[in-house]
Structure 1
Amino acid sequence: MQETRRTPRLSKSRFQLGLQCAKGLWLKCHRPELADPIDESQQAIFDQGTEVGRLAQRRFPGGVLIDEPYYETASALESTARALEAGAPALFEAAFEADGVLVRVDILNRVGSQKAYVDEAVGATTSSSGGTEAISLAGGEGERRRVAGTFDLVEVKSSTKRKEEHVTDLAIQRYVLEKCGVGVDRALLMHLNHHYIYQSGEHDPLQAFAFDDATEDVSLWLPEIPSRLAQMCEMLAGEMPEMTIGRHCSHPYVCSFHGFCHQGLPEYPVTELPRKGRDLLDQLIREGIWSIKDIPEHYEDLTKTQRRVRRVVVEGRPWFSETILEILGGLRYPLYFLDFETLHPALPVYAGTHPYLQIPFQFSLHVLERGESVASSGTEPDDDILDEEASAKISCSLGRLTHHEFLWEEPTDPRPALIPALLDALGTEGSIIVYTHFENTILRYLAEAYPQYAEQIEAVQGRLFDLEKEVIREHTMHPEYRGSTSIKHVLPALVPELSYDDLAIDNGDVATLRYVSAVFGEASEGERQKIFKDLKEYCGRDTLAMVRLLEAVYRSKIT
């Protein structure tokens, strides 16, 4: 007989997970220890959300914070009831429970409190008459009545626009609130304003946020919630449901049980096919095809790139196009290999910048001049460019290799110093090799922010050569790319003796976090210098990796 389990309490995050994947919700409730560990980058996202939430609260002066932690449910419910009874103009993190669902509402704003700020932000105007307010909606949508004593439900997000999943987030909260007898007038998304330009000092909560009225879309979702909750509760009362992996494992969020559900896959699973749509992955799994090796040779729904992946996996050897040397023949020496590291804070830290603007604080530049290699000629790079250990690492069969780097170590805007240093190091001749379009995007941002350098930066952009797009993606394929042409996948496949495994910082997200901690945090001077050293090693590895990849591609066609 099937065991009947006690149905756990749901929350808005658990409800969202249940909409995405029933198995994920079951695991979250019954086997949370199987979740993937929260890494440094994920924790930073949580911390960022907390910081944005605190700023949002400042837009509602006089609001009452229900500060009990999430595990003190009874106390939080009592504090919420007292604040409502006392007539608080706004509540932060208010707790409500109904039908087995507990929600903590980011902001609950009483109608008539701070309404001018909110109404202006959503493009509406109000006028009062008796116990009601008439609200004229923006866009000529007419007029509706707002009843005194009701509330605006406000969900705060660190994004700069509404996403589909935000509607269901608001819908489950409104459902619970109304079940508790709390009248909800509007369901609003309060997200960061992409057009907000930071000046200095404290952030302005009136300017930093924009409002999106999702009331209509939330209302359309409300009738579905009772049946969805019933399905989730029934599922949670039984054994773990059978769910095949698919696109839902990472959309709209990467599931915290991704590792658990993907264990036991074959060596080259179909999940590693590049640029696969949901339909293709679901179709392959329905047909019982789990390994790329098992895909029939003439399977109709594969793209040219996917067929190429299948071919190299089946044959067990890499592929290089016959025209690859012709493509590389367009490069002009000296060759510059450029990589930026950036920070992109949700809440800007430099005057004149907006949320999530990519700000470069570091670059690495390897320069390859045609001629004998460092290793074969016995010639060492200049002492002021590289130390002995670094010199040994950069011997190159394609010519003489030297290295330049820039890292801003102060809490001020790095761009005024970085731009001239970069332009000086790049000179005016020679191809500039980058990996993906990211560096071109950063250069465009720099030209927009500093028009006095625009002409020189545009000349630099005209010399760019995207190694990933022009060579790796279109003219190479290797079984160990694992469906990705990210440099982190390509490097160990084509240059197995070089990797990122020996570095203290091994990806860009961690580089950003460590930089922020060194420059804006409370790190000691010793910790700061260690971080700066690690950053230089990581960024330098990115550009050295491009050099080695270029070598490997040449070697593939001339040996």
Structure 2
Amino acid sequence: MARHQLSKSTFMRGCQCLKSLYLNKHHRTLGICKDPLSAQQTAIFAAGTLTGQLAQQTYPGGVDCTPESFYDFAPSIVKTRDAITACAPAIYEATFMANGVLALMDILVLRDDGWHAYEVKSTNSTKDQHIEDAALQYWVMRESGLPVVSIHIMHFDPAYVRDGAIDVQELFTDDDVTEAALGKQDAITRQIEVEKAVLTAHAVPAIAIGPHCHSPYACDFIGHCWSEIPPYSVLNLRGKSETKWALFNEGYRMTRDIPEGTDLQWKQQLQVNADKTGETTIDKAGIAAFLERLVYPLYYFDLETIMPGVPIFDHSRPYQQICVQYSLHIQHEAGGAVEHFEFLGDGTDADPRPPLLQQMIADLGTAGSVIVYNESFEDGRLEEMARDFPQHAAAITAIRARLIDLADPFRAKHYYAPEMRGSYSIKYVLPALIPELSYNDLAIQEGGTASLTYLQMVTGTFDGDIDQTRRDLIAYCTLDTLAMVKIMAKLKAAVTEGQS
């Protein structure tokens, strides 16, 4: 059996970028390296595999046609054909090849009226790219001679709440995308021919970088295609994406080269002006109005979460942010010393939220401003915990009423320095205002790594030094709230500077 020219994954790659499709096949010959997978990306792929296996339980008793080798699909194609002939009630990883295109259907189900196909996605909803994916699958099955009655995207039901053992019938739901897939069949045929031609071409397609490099997924050739783009360029201009790409396509590379009179949003103009002059903008009145909202004692508070697709704990939903850790610095009076408090779950399969809530409510007291950075995150998590643990709802609601967002003066550009590069994220604000305090000195430097590490502990897949890693998690979260203490002091100094 001849080897396939396109698979579902390579076809979808070509839909995003034909250059990426070509490089994926020829990069070794061309001496081009793919970008390495991050730990988070690896975890996402692994979770997708486990989700597919879990979804098979919704249609038990099926024939598993998963290929034993991803270098030889012929046995799986034969096994699928035999299972169809034998009228198996369900087929897992049903494998088809037609006109050089390979597709593996996650679940095929036989009903009285014929075969129904289910493509499983570890998401909470059907995305546009999923429909394109399903349309290709439908095309291959049809060309293989299998009449498919319907095709569906199966995904997690975001309304599912775990209560005891996972109920797979309730965990998953599906959307019938047959009509949409049928409507794409002619386009799929044309796209396949385009992609086959690209793969056999003798030159890399001349496709410039653009928004497609990150949509719907970050391409693994960004390191190659973007190699001549400076670390900070017009593509770091915040605000409307169309503006930065228009400037880039006009030949501008650095923000300082953007000509006067260019139609920019006011925040973009502020960013460009700061890059050109190197000057910091400080609106003392705006900052003072923010500071007037503060009520002592001040509680600088930061939550860390995990977000498993399949709920691990009772009273949780697919991809719900589960609070596992917090850091808290308390300043009882202006200019006074700060105390530090912390919580970190034990990293087992025991739900960390009940003990976290008990300690958090005690630590945050009943009066004083609770300072967070990007309020929507902490407020959202508190709201969810009030819903899931109604016995604490009154106390949590009272805490939510005390929240103050330290990002506000930076979001409003009351304080803006060129080093912030148009962002109000604490990861940019901190080095701009307090360069001696850096996340770069930590073993865990950002929230994605912290979340993945704790999740691996819970699921038993972590193979590092647990005691040291717990110290690293605490150090990371502690810096978040210490940074807020230092940033607040900087804001107060900015208002009083020059006053006698």
Q: TM-score, normalised by structure 1?
A: 0.83
Equivalent residue for 2:487? Answer: 549
Q: Is the 8 A contact 1:363 1:406 kept in 2?
A: yes
Which residue of 408, 420, 438 corresponds with 2:358?
420
Show the 5 A alignment for 1:126-165.
148=113, 150-165=114-129
What CA distance in whole angstroms lies between the structure 1 residues aligned with 2:306 and 2:231?
A: 36
Task: After TM superposition, list the pairs within 5 Å mapping 1:100-499 onto structure 2.
Answer: 100-112=100-112, 148=113, 150-201=114-165, 203-238=166-201, 239-266=203-230, 268-277=232-241, 279-300=242-263, 302-323=264-285, 324-370=287-333, 398-409=335-346, 410-436=348-374, 437-499=376-438
- Shift in alpha-carbon separation, 1:99–1:187, aligned structure 2, 3 A: same
**1:34 match: secondary structure:** coil
SS at match of 2:124: coil
1:63–1:91 CA contact under 8 A, matched in 2 = yes
Distance in 2 separating the partners of 1:261 and 1:8: 27
**Following the alignment from structure 1 to structure 2, what is the Cα–Cα distance between the partners of residues 29 and 484?**
37
Q: How far has the Cα of 1:78 moved from its partner?
A: 2.5
Quickly say closer, same or farther: Cα 1:452–1:311, change in 2 above 3 A: same
312-321 vs 154-163, which moves further:
312-321
Shift of 1:175: 0.6
**Offset of 1:473 from its aligned partner?**
4.6
Tell me the secondary structure at the aligned position of residue 341 of structure 2. strand
Task: Give 1:558 deviation, angstroms.
Answer: 3.9
8 Å Cα contact 1:8/1:29 also seen in 2:
no
Whether the 8 Å contact between 1:518 and 1:531 is mirrored in structure 2 is no
Q: Percent identity of the aligned residues?
A: 38
Match of 1:126 in 2: none
Larger radius of gyration: 1
The number of aligned residues is 487
Q: CA deviation at 1:522?
A: 5.6
Task: Say whether 1:24 aligns with 2:20.
Answer: yes
Displacement of 1:557: 4.3
Residue identity in the other structure for 1:41: Q
Equivalence for 1:43: 42
Change (3 A) 1:554 1:23: farther
For the 8 Å contact 1:268–1:293, the answer to whether it is kept is no
Question: Does residue 96 of the first structure (1) align with residue 96 of the second (2)?
Answer: yes
Structure 1 residue 209: Cα displacement: 0.6
CA contact (8 A) 1:160 1:192 kept: yes
Counterpart of 1:423, as a letter, is I
Is the alpha carbon distance of 1:282 and 1:100 closer, same or farther for their aligned partners in structure 2, counting shifts above 3 Å?
A: farther
Equivalent residues of 2:4, 2:101 under 8 A apart: no
Equivalent residues of 1:93, 1:104 under 8 A apart:
yes
Q: Distance in 1 between matches of 2:467 and 2:58?
A: 39
Offset at 1:441?
Answer: 0.7
Note the alpha carbon deviations across 1:500-530, whole angstroms, 9 max, x for none.
Answer: 1222222222212211222331658x83222
Q: Deviations over 1:368-418 (max 9, x none)?
A: 2335xxxxxxxxxxxxxxxxxxxxxxxxxx431110001120421222211
The amino acid that maps onto 1:480 is E
CA contact (8 A) 1:327 1:471 kept: no
Task: Name the CA distance, whole Å, in 2 between partners of 1:24 and 1:184.
Answer: 31
Query: How far has the Cα of 1:360 moved from its partner?
Result: 0.7
Report if the CA contact (8 A) 2:284-2:494 is conserved. no
Report what 1:60 is aligned to.
59
Q: Distance in 2 between matches of 1:298 and 1:288?
A: 17
SS of the residue corresponding to residue 474 of structure 1 reads coil
Partner of 1:509: 448
Change (3 A) 1:522 1:97: closer
Summarize deviations over 1:211-241 as a string: whole Å, max 9, x none.
1000111111111112111222222222112
Aligned twin of 1:388: none
Q: Deviations over 1:24-51 (max 9, x none)?
A: 2122221165221111111111111111
Normalised to the residue count of structure 2, the TM-score between the two structures is: 0.92
> Is contact 2:121-2:154 (8 Å) kept?
yes
- After TM superposition, give the deviation of residue 22 of structure 1 in Å: 1.5
Measure the CA separation in 1 of the matches of 2:170 and 2:255: 51
Provide the rounded CA distance (Å) in 2 between the counterparts of 1:16 and 1:470: 42
SS at match of 2:362: helix
SS of structure 2 residue aligned to 1:38: coil
Distance (whole Å) between structure 2 residues aligned to residue 434 and residue 304 of structure 1? 26
Of residues 513-522 and 214-223 in structure 1, the stretch that sits farther from structure 2 once superposed is 513-522
Q: Check the 8 A contact 1:92/1:105 in 2, yes or no.
A: yes
Q: 1:15 maps to what in 2?
A: 11
| RMSD of aligned residue pairs (Cα, Å) | 2.0
Measure the CA separation in 1 of the matches of 2:142 and 2:189.
Answer: 13
Instruction: State how far apart, in whole Å, the 2-side matches of 1:21 and 1:259 are.
Output: 15
- State the SS of the aligned residue for 1:87: coil
How far 1:157 sits from its partner (Å)? 0.7
CA contact (8 A) 1:267 1:291 kept: no
Residue 534 of structure 1 corresponds to 472
How far off its partner does 1:72 sit? 2.1
Between the aligned partners of 1:422 and 1:78, the Cα distance in structure 2 is 59
Partners of 2:238 and 2:153 in 1: how far apart?
Answer: 34
User: Aligned pair in 2 of structure 1 residues 262, 429: CA closer, same or farther (>3 Å)?
Assistant: same
* Alpha-carbon distance, 1:351 to partner: 1.4
Q: AA paired with 1:227?
A: R
| Cα distance in 1 between the residues matched to 2:188 and 2:420 | 43
Alpha-carbon offset, residue 63 of structure 1: 0.9
Hey, what's the Cα distance between the residues in 2 that align with 1:346 and 1:72? Answer: 31
**Matches of 1:209 and 1:486 in 2, distance apart?**
35
Confirm or deny: 8 A CA contact 1:158 1:192 kept in the other structure: yes
Q: Using the alignment, how far apart are the partners of 1:24 and 1:473 within structure 2?
A: 39
SS in 2 for 1:370: coil
